[in-house]
Amino acid sequence: QVQLVESGGGLVQPGGSLRLSCTSSVFTLDYYAIGWFRQAPGKEREGVSCISKSDGRALYADSVKGRFTISRDSAKNTVYLQMNSLKPEDTAVYYCAAGLWSSWFPNEYDYWGQGTQVTVSS
């Protein structure tokens, strides 16, 4: 059973924007910390952003700070990752994950989506 579903990926030119969505038909996402990770070919999965379950505190990797914004829409049971000023090095499969605590470590998340491809290219 798919527990988290990502959407919103695609092909975009450098400098463009995309908004990724993470939703679930199984979980109420407000009860979980949500992390966004990405994995490019031949590279390890890396944390991009995460948002806590309690106070909504958001954290960002240095590589995306000032360009990406994570947010929750409780009514829609969705967590978004707004990505602006995209660069070719942002190209990767993006995953959302749910866990008890915000963390940069993938192993600390219990549930994962199947990923959505983001390609930044002219």
The pLDDT value recorded for residue 1 is 58
CB 116 within 8 Å of CB 4: no
Whole-angstrom Cα distance, residue 36 to residue 48? 5
pLDDT, one tens digit per residue, over 25-76 is 998 999 999 999 999 999 999 999 999 998 889 999 999 999 999 999 999 9
Q: What mean pLDDT is predicted for residues 10-21?
A: 98
Among candidate residues 28, 36, 14, the one with its CA nearest the CA of residue 102: 36
The pLDDT value recorded for residue 14 is 98
Beta carbons within 8 Å of 106's beta carbon, 6+ residues apart: 35, 37, 45, 47, 97
DSSP letter string over 6-32? EE--EEE-TT--EEEEEE-SS--GGGS
Beta carbons within 8 Å of 85's beta carbon, 6+ residues apart: 15, 17, 67
DSSP β-ladder status, 46-51 and 58-60: antiparallel
